[in-house]
Structures are given as C-alpha cells and as structure tokens.
Structure 1
Amino acid sequence: MSTTDRPAPLRILIGCDTFLPDVNGAARFAERLAAGLVRRGEEVHVVAPAVKYNRGGSFVETIEGERMVVHRWASWRWYPHDWLRFVLPWRARSHARKLLDRLHPDVIHIQSHIIVGRALAKEGAKRGIRIVATNHVMPENVLDFTLLPERAKKLLVRWGWRDADRVLQRAAEVTTPTRRAADFLERNTHRRGVLPVSCGLRASDYTADLTPRRENKLVFVGRVTLEKEIDVILRAIPRVDPALNVSFTIVGDGDQRKQLEKLAADLGIRDRVHFTGRVSDAELRASLTEASIFVIASIAELQSIATMEAMASGLPIIAADAMALPHLVHEGENGHLFQPGYDRELAERIEGVLRLSPEEYQAMQRASLEAVKVHDIDRTLDTFEALYRGETPAS
C-alpha cells in the first residue's frame, strides 16, 4: 500500500505482561510488532511491568530502533522464576482506568489474559474500545513457575483456561501464532474463529552461510527452562557417533542452567557444551550463522520465534513433534521431527543430517530459507492493522 493510500494513523495501545528486557517469544513479538507499527506511521503506546521494583511511570524508550512511549506499571518479581514480574491485579485496574481516560486509544491489543491484559480488556470494554487479543500463554506453562504439587496444578490448569475464556470473550478478534495453537485454544475455551497470525520476522536481519561446515555444531536458542526439555538434547549427544565430534551451544539463560551444567558433566560431555548466557542480538545471530543444526526439544511452543530465526539463518531444523513445531519443520525437506523426549531418536536424526552430502545438506538449508518466507513481518503487520480497523485481513 502506498503512503498516499494509507488511512489515518491509529492510536494503538499494546498491553504486555512480559516485555523488554525479558527474553521470550511473547516479549519479542510485542517488541517487533510495536516497532513495525511505528515505522508504518501508527502512534504506539505499550503497557508493561516496571523493570525495577515499584518504579512505574511513562517513559520514551527505543524498541527495535524505534522510539515509543512505554507505560511501566509498578511490579514485583516472582522469585521462583528467573525473570517473571507481575503487577498487583487491583493496582492494574486502577492504572488501566487512568491511562485509558487520558490516552483514548483507538484499539487495545492485549498479549495475554493474565494481569495487564485483563485490566486493559475489562476497562477498555467498558469504554467501547475495540480489543484485539493474542494468546501466547498456556496455563500449563505458567504453573511450571510455581512450587505447587501436581494435583493442585491440574486443578489450576482447568481453572486457568476458564479464566482465560472470560477475558478473551471481551475481544473482537482473538489470534494465536499458528493454526495448531488456535485449535488448542478453541478446544480449551469457548472461543471460536481464532485466527492464526505468525509472530513474523524480517529474514534479511539474519545471515545464512551455505558453505560446507568444518565443525559439527548444534545450537539451541531460548530460555533455559523446564518446558524447553534441553536435557533431552544433552542426553542425545553421547549417543551420536563420537567420530562426528559434535558440540552443542545453548544461547540463553534461565533457572535450569545449573542443573543442565551438572547433567552435562554427569554425561561426560561438559567440554562439548557451551552455555552463553544472555547475549546481544548480534551475538545470537552469529551463533546461528556458524552452527550446523538448530535443535529444539520443547513441548510447549505456540510458534517458536527462535526456530524461525534459525530457518532465516539457513539452518536445518531438528524439532520435537509437539505443539506448533511441525508447522515449521517439513519432514525431510528442511529438517526432521522426533518423538518428544526420545533422545535415542533425536541422536539418529542428528547423525542423519550430519552425514548428508554437501549438496543434500545445502538443499536442506535452502528449504529452511524458502519456508521462512511466509512468516515475513510485513504480512503480520498488514493483518493486525486490518484487525485493528475491523477489516478482513488479506488471505
């Protein structure tokens, strides 16, 4: 659409329970969405938890190279988790009332139904403001951060989905990153017509190296937490033919790092496993470019931006056959799937890719580069701008 054909700018309020400096898929999506909308001339405001204890306020922040107003609400750290912060619910409602009465947004786009999104949805609905909701949250994953017994967790999962349903019913449109995630949401709530909209990325931000590899490097990017099942990858490495001399780089940090470091030592592979901790975007992209295979064993991905980043870096993907990952991995074309938790099968898949001829390996790389094109961020932005205006998105 040309600049002269574009409608008048919208005032968009994006509500997030997790945002920069947090490192996770929901936060990354919100950052890219907000920055992309600013580049298109929209007026974007973001609501997110304060970074430091009880230090709220409205700040002009630079997100993905774009300046926007971020309204930071006073928050408290959930110490069993490595980064999770939360706003007190009763204070969130008060903050939402004051902000909406002052800002008068055209649309509210909530990124979860937990606290910030819930408050904005409730107060926005009272004022007749159009609400769009994107679900990045499964109650099952949230409860991994608690210390509750399993029986209590199961009861709370059922309650969590009913609670999500009550918030999401206020939205004119509900989206999730993939069709499988949309189906999952519809099975667990009364929401129907959930739209799959990719989180998107700009593939040109990543560099693919299509030359033959001199070393066999596996890489994983993401939070080092339970649902990522990184231990499955570690257990697979000793099963791979030692002659292939496989190493493994884990890009990211989280509450499971110490346990995984101990597991690597117990398996006798500590010298072949590198934990980077948190890194810059440039370092992350370099780790992907120089790797041989991206491996992800997670069983709870609603899309996996990290996997798309690996595809944009021209990597073959080996992923657990769970949740949304099969949407990204085309079996035998740009990688392989394995049964979740089966480290022996994962090891076989790793060996299979590393034993490909240079021509076969490069064909798999090119397949990843081709497959990621449908996740271009501009398609995502087009879709959400249409939803904000109450229009039907282009197919």
Structure 2
Amino acid sequence: MTSPDSPPRPSPEDSSHPEGDRRPLTVLIGADTFSPDVNGAARFAERLAAGLVQRGHDVHIMAPSKTHAQHGTYRETIEGQEMTVHRLPSWRWYPHDWLRFVLPWMSKHYARKVLDDVKPDAAHIQSHIVIGRGLMREARKRDVPVVATNHVMPENIVDFTTLPPFLDKVVVKLAWDDASRTLRMARAVTTPTQKAADFLTAATGLTDVIPVSCGIDRSHYSPDLSPRTSNRILVVGRLTTEKHIDVTLKAVAKLDPALGVTVEIVGGGDQRKNLEVLTRQLGLSDRVEFVGRASDEELRRLYSEASLFVISSIAELQSIATMEAMASALPIVAADAVALPHLVHDGENGYLFPPGDIDGLADRITRVLTASPEERLRMQQASLDMVAVHDINRTLDTFEALYRGEPLPS
C-alpha cells in the first residue's frame, strides 16, 4: 500500500492562493462498497470520483479488494476516468450474495498508511461502517477535513446479520448510535435528499444534514418520446428483500391480460431464485425476463425501449435507477416510501402507491399504460423536467465547496 511520497501541500483554504486557492485538490474517498459492486452507494462513489478526476482533481479510493488475494494499490479506470484505488484485504460475507468486508480492527491501520502516503486535502467517507469509521478517526488526527455521506439504512442490513429476528431492533439501535458517533466528527454530513436528511436527523440527532443529490449525467441517456407499440415494464435494482420486487410481480399478475404486459428485471441478488419460483407460480414465466446484471450500454437501451419504470422498494434514500429512468423520459410508478416521493410526484411524472399494496400498484400501472398519447407525453416530459435539478455538475460543485470549506453554491 505504498506510493512515492508527495511534497507537503498547503491547505485548500490557504489565502495566499488567489481566489481562495482554485488549484486541483487531492481527495481520498473511503467506500465500503465500490466497483465491481452494483448498488446505489457504489455507483454514486464511482460517478463522484470520475467527475472529480474529469475536473482535474487527484482522486484516491479506499475500497475492499475484489478477492482476498487482490489487495494493493492499483490504477483503475472507473466511469471512463483513471484513478488510484487502494484495495484493502477483504473477505466475502457469505449470508450476502456479493458483500465483502475489511476486518474492523485493520481499518485504522490501512487508513494510516493511505493517509500518510497520499496526504489528501480532504477525505470523503461513504458510510460510517468499517472503512469509513477507520478513515474518519485517522483523518481527524491529521487535521484532514472529512465530509461524510450517508447511504446506509441499518434496517436494510438486518436480513444479513444471521442474528435471531427478535434482536433486530437492538442491532438497528446500536447501528444508528454508532453512525451518530462517527458522523459527528465530520466537517459536513450529506445524504441524497431532504427526506433522507430528515430521516437521518431523527435517527441520530444530527443537525444541519445537507441534502446533496447523487446526481446524474443526463447526456448519457436517450429519451424516446414516441408512442410505444407494446407495454414493457422495466425494474432495475438489487434482488433483495427490501426492494419488494415480489410486490411488482404480484401486481403484474393482476393486470388485464389484454394489456399484453411484459416485464424486464435487471439486477442480481440473493432473492433471484425465490423470485423466479414466484414468477412460475403466478403463471408469468412467458412474460417476465430476468436479465441479470447489464452493462451500462445495455441498461440505457432497456430504459429507452421501456414503457414504464416500476419501483416497489421501501428503503430508498434516493434511487439512482429511478433518476436514470426519468432521464430516459419514462413515467414512473413508485412506492410512497422514504425518498421516492422526492422523485415521483403523484399525477405528474407518474404515480405513487401505498407500500406493499398489490392492488394499488396494479391500478397505477394500468393508469399509465392506458393513458392517452397526450397524457403519456405529459408524464414523460415531467420526468425530464424534474430530473434536471439532479444534474451531476451541481453535485460536483457542492462537494468541491465542502472539501474546500467554502460557502455552498446556490
């Protein structure tokens, strides 16, 4: 985990530099999940890092190794940009289908090594769990400012602890208490939406949590505003229990067969076999395709060709997949839970339904698929208009200001 020593750098706020020091920054991002993982937190960290590199900053990543043997410091290409990734020795967490973890008592050790090698102007942790906890504490010792972004809901983790269900509430409370202790050390705490910020404040007692969208580069998507000749529902996300994809399948089974609905489900996860069994039980095998993990190019094509995007999840702090669907001009039907109402305004760019309400979801899907061409076009345009505020450049501007300790852009 070594690299050539760097010469000391002045503070990013050093007033001896013109205009508050606009030189490029060296930023160290600590992420407990990162490429090749496929989830919202990993995708955000990847896009943030790539966007910063594109702006001329020197970006380093601390992340788990891809396999236990593949640890060390590498130059990797992420989202088309080359950056330095410090891969820490990690182990598979077998109750989960892909999660890897770094031994907690080693996180500070590796944080010390990387901080002393890289000498960053700022650090940015993506969770308070293992890598983030160690990096936060060691950065503080070196007076390196830390920005913390929370993507974690402990309620989503309890399924994979292997502990008895009656201990779930205890585990969740302990996790939130730990989050509070770690996040209080940060220069600034962010989370993707105002609803997520309110949730974090209620759970931890933190104040001044800043909502900063994960952001999306709309230029990567190809909106198709033409009428559809078939009714194709797209579902994108990890196939895990909190995503409630079973609710979507059960709702599809209740739709009028005359609609000729087909469903494409993109993503992998521990619930795939169970969902495939449910699909057969519902008599939907000829109408539902499990695509698995898709490349970015293939996923963009699926967005462009779909008629409707459906998300039944009850645990979204934002949902990058929903923003991608909006940037592709899709109407959205979403569960009225956590941060999804921040993206989906009922009756505007689609509809919300009560979480877990199968009949309610079937009703909202039917409304979209039977809408007049004019009504459908109105919903598509609303998705495009509403996703504009989530432009990735706004996100990058905000984090640059937080790293430098400057006022946030308006």
Shorter-chain TM-score range: over 0.9
Aligned to 1:357: 372
Alignment partner of 2:53: what SS?
helix
Residue number among 247, 271, 280 corresponding to 1:265 in the alignment: 280
Amino acid at match of 1:370: D
Are residue 140 (structure 1) and residue 155 (structure 2) matched? yes
Alignment partner of 2:286: what SS?
helix
Residue number among 391, 395, 409 corresponding to 1:376 in the alignment: 391
Moved over 4 A (4+): none
Partners of 1:238 and 1:267 within 8 A in 2: yes
Are residue 38 (structure 1) and residue 43 (structure 2) matched? no
Q: Distance between the aligned counterparts of 1:9 and 1:186, measured in 2?
A: 33
Amino acid at match of 1:219: L
Distance apart, 1:204 and its partner CA: 1.1
Are residue 201 (structure 1) and residue 216 (structure 2) matched? yes
Q: Distance between the aligned counterparts of 1:357 and 1:139, measured in 2?
A: 42
Are residue 149 (structure 1) and residue 173 (structure 2) matched? no
Any gaps of 5 or more consecutive residues in structure 1?
A: none
Percent identity (aligned): 62
Aligned to 2:4: none
Q: Give the RMSD, CA atoms, in angstroms.
A: 1.0
Alignment partner of 1:72: what SS?
strand
Q: Distance between the aligned counterparts of 2:236 and 2:300, measured in 1?
A: 10
Aligned to 2:328: 313
Q: Distance between the aligned counterparts of 1:107 and 1:42, measured in 2?
A: 11
Amino acid at match of 2:268: D
Are residue 247 (structure 1) and residue 297 (structure 2) matched? no
Distance apart, 1:70 and its partner CA: 0.3
Aligned to 1:285: 300
Distance apart, 1:177 and its partner CA: 0.1
Amino acid at match of 1:10: L
Amino acid at match of 1:338: F
Distance apart, 1:155 and its partner CA: 0.5
Aligned to 2:313: 298
Residue number among 234, 238, 241 corresponding to 1:223 in the alignment: 238
Distance apart, 1:129 and its partner CA: 0.7
Residue number among 382, 387, 392 corresponding to 2:402 in the alignment: 387
Distance apart, 1:304 and its partner CA: 0.1
Residue number among 58, 61, 68 corresponding to 1:53 in the alignment: 68
Partners of 1:296 and 1:320 within 8 A in 2: yes
Are residue 186 (structure 1) and residue 190 (structure 2) matched? no
Aligned to 2:78: 63
TM-score by length of structure 2 reads 0.94
Aligned to 2:11: none
Alignment partner of 1:270: what SS?
coil
Distance apart, 1:391 and its partner CA: 1.0
TM-score by length of structure 1 reads 0.98
Are residue 327 (structure 1) and residue 342 (structure 2) matched? yes
Alignment partner of 1:271: what SS?
coil
Amino acid at match of 1:297: S
Amino acid at match of 2:66: V
Alignment partner of 2:123: what SS?
strand
Aligned to 2:358: 343
Distance apart, 1:147 and its partner CA: 2.0
Q: Distance between the aligned counterparts of 1:354 and 1:284, measured in 2?
A: 21
Are residue 11 (structure 1) and residue 29 (structure 2) matched? no
Partners of 1:54 and 1:76 within 8 A in 2: no
Amino acid at match of 1:170: M
Aligned to 1:256: 271
Distance apart, 1:373 and its partner CA: 0.2
Q: Distance between the aligned counterparts of 2:205 and 2:243, measured in 1?
A: 28
Alignment partner of 1:349: what SS?
helix
Distance apart, 1:330 and its partner CA: 1.2
99-108 vs 111-120, which moves further: 99-108
Q: Distance between the aligned counterparts of 1:259 and 1:312, measured in 2?
A: 31
Alignment partner of 1:47: what SS?
strand
Distance apart, 1:55 and its partner CA: 2.4
